[in-house]
A and B are shown apart, each in its own frame.
Chain A
């Protein structure tokens, strides 16, 4: 794929609160329709719950809540994008999944300081595709920080019990 001089990234492009986002296709395991989610008590609000993915229990997070974006209604286009990163598999609720794109690495720029309300820390950069801007999510940060937050909660809970 990385032929000659151009290095390309392949992205799964999705919509979230009116903006276009992309994640590296290598991390995307599959995209499934919205389904019934079992809520889990005592978890952060952005954790919607768990689903049964062919016998596996997979946690699902709502990216709107994760990034403090206005919540969107669930429509026919709503999808759960199952991503895999290291030892973590997580489903992410997005408004719709539009396409898979190849983007030359050179067309990706570092994220500008302010962009559509999402903390720059969660972004890898911004890609230009024809006339559109595609915001590239840094899944590592998105998922890891959730874990850390969880950890902090646990520590806090632990202190309470003493």
Chain B
């Protein structure tokens, strides 16, 4: 019977467990860097505690036993009975891995079967051996202050100006009826003589009476402590006031935070994993399919908006000065605006912070670095950058590849780095940010960099390229070789990378989601990969062109520029039409020909040429005419027609007609084949 009762909670349990494991993973890796961070320890403790509670209530005893032991170790760390060490971090991470195995076993319907004795044993050994006490908590008050960087700066500035900064701890009488009102009075009375710069718990929680009897303030004032104490004591129902000056230095232990969740459990025992002091936004879990459906509906609306506007324009040409027409115009404008807003909102609903992908990397980098015997400082920036979920799903694997490469091939061993006059620690920087209508992700290392000549000779040696062809390659093209299947620049094959699969897969993945990847490298200085991705895959800004009486859409992401070319400027190299643009030779092809249609561009004084870029390649497509830029909804051509080289799908225009969307990548790829064949004949 238990299975029946519990099954409905199992999904929730697994989701939450995954969240907590992820949180633990990140936090423990972080703890290794900042062992003194008590807030962090508290966060870890709470996550473990919550996991223990939910596991036990679901009847998963192995999970509960293991988390319980972890909790004990964490508690000892928190109490200062144990000091954070590499060994302890290792054991905690090993425990986490085991928890994951157990959780996966639960997910696959086998309960939490699995051996935990060995890990539990290690944890217990840590506990019993942990005599090296390291006192960290001096103050056992239940509400205490830690100041973040900004607040510390405020304190510093105030002290410079001759103000005193105090920590004021106010304890209300037990059974005090209107706690929030008392707190308000304290704030109000103190306001006359200075300024509150921080309050624990937060003022919002004080207002909501979400505190026991005690709250603590950081207070800036010219008055001395006794005066302040008298001001506070003048309010009724105050049991005690403790005032001490806040002394900064880098000595944060002075204002060391006692656990928000007391050792006995406290707030964390409520069983939701959210730390109480974080402002949590209200969320609803929604089936992804629903969002997809909504997105489709909005897509239809976007099309109809355009159609409506067109009908309006048509009517305007037919009839003059009709009131009705004016109303239509108004309505059409309004619907247009609402549709845009709706579209934006739904797009946002599909967006997730990229942290969902990034959050597992610190752990991975740590493990890889240890395995490779390298010392690496891993910096992650722009975790909050939001991406469409379809893009998020695809971007993880390529990033893993790039990070592995950076650690394994990029960063040198510590000895080699010192010899080269670099810092012992290699730096790997992962960064995400918005740029115009794109998301840019960079993976940068300050390692050995790549040598184009070495890549070329590798490619020749692997039989991927003839010696002559290699000699003709420029710098960028040589770097591009690393994207060829079967090429690895590493001299040795390691567990991590170097098997010659990887970079081609990376590029495939990225191009699949309409992204581009670019490399910059300086031998001896490091390498930087830049990935550019569209914000979403469902709706696309496009350049509409006309060829042979039909409309085609270039994804704007691929369009580099549009130029006019006179027939006289077109030259022929190897029977390939080319044009020289700002010193660069650009292959030219009529779009109709590229698509395998009959016909040639109509004779004209000027050809409109759309230059598209794909990785480092650029090609000019001659079109009959340009129509303009438009937002289009990508629709598949369906199973029956299947995948056509050169086409990404179709879209519906404002007039109801169908236009084809070009897939620049396969279009250019296909051309490569045809050009070669032509050369051979």
Contact = CB atoms under 8 A, between A and B. Distances in A.
B550 A88 contact: no
Interface string B608-648: 00000000000000000000000000011111111111110
Interface residues of A, number: 30
Interface residues of B, number: 29
Interface stretch (B72-80, B329-337, B655-663): B655-663
Interface stretch (A7-15, A43-51, A106-114): A43-51
Contacts of B652: 52, 55, 57
B303 A57 contact: no
Contact of B645 (A47, A52, A146, A157): A157
A29 interface: no
A23 B453 CA distance: 66
Nearest to B642: A150
Interface string B539-555: 00000000000100000
Given A50-B658, A88-B638, A147-B639, A38 B645 contact: no
B644 A57 contact: no
Contacts of A154: 642-643
A42 B656 contact: no
A90 B637 CA distance: 11
Contacts of A57: 635-638, 649-650, 652, 658
A117 B592 CA distance: 35
Nearest to A87: B639
A20 to B, nearest CB: 26
Contacts of B638: 57-59, 88-89
Contacts of A147: 639-640, 642
A70 interface: no
Interface in B300-329: 300, 303
Interface string A36-76: 10111111000101111001111100000000000000000
A160 interface: yes
A117 to B, nearest CB: 24
A3 interface: no
Nearest to B645: A42
Contact of B650 (A38, A42, A47, A90): A38
Interface in A70-110: 87-90
B673 A59 contact: no
A52 B647 CA distance: 17
Nearest to B644: A42
A116 interface: no
A43 B595 CA distance: 11
A158 to B, nearest CB: 10
B597 interface: yes
A147 B637 CA distance: 13
A38 B656 CA distance: 11
Q: Counting chain B CB atoms within 10 Å of each CB, which of A39, A55, A88 scores highest?
A: A55
Nearest to B656: A52
Nearest to A56: B635
Contacts of B303: 55
B596 interface: yes
A143 to B, nearest CB: 7
Q: Counting chain B CB atoms within 10 Å of each CB, which of A42, A49, A89 scores highest?
A: A42
A41 B640 contact: no
B595 A42 contact: yes
A59 B641 contact: yes
A143 B300 CA distance: 28
B350 to A, nearest CB: 20
A45 B649 CA distance: 19
Contact of B660 (A36, A38, A88, A157): A38
A56 B650 CA distance: 10
A53 to B, nearest CB: 10
A138 B303 CA distance: 36
A146 B642 CA distance: 11
Given A55-B652, A150-B642, A160-B673, A40 B637 contact: yes
19 contacts: A40-B641, A41-B596, A41-B646, A41-B647, A42-B595, A42-B646, A43-B644, A50-B637, A50-B641, A52-B656, A55-B300, A57-B658, A59-B637, A87-B639, A88-B638, A88-B639, A146-B640, A147-B640, A161-B669
Given A40-B647, A57-B658, 16 more contacts: A36-B657, A38-B658, A38-B659, A39-B550, A40-B641, A40-B660, A41-B646, A43-B644, A47-B641, A55-B652, A57-B638, A89-B638, A147-B639, A150-B640, A150-B642, A161-B669
Shortest 5 CB-CB distances between A and B: which pairs?
A38-B658, A41-B595, A57-B635, A41-B596, A88-B640
Interface of A: 36, 38-43, 47, 49-52, 55-59, 87-90, 143, 146-147, 150-151, 154, 157, 160-161
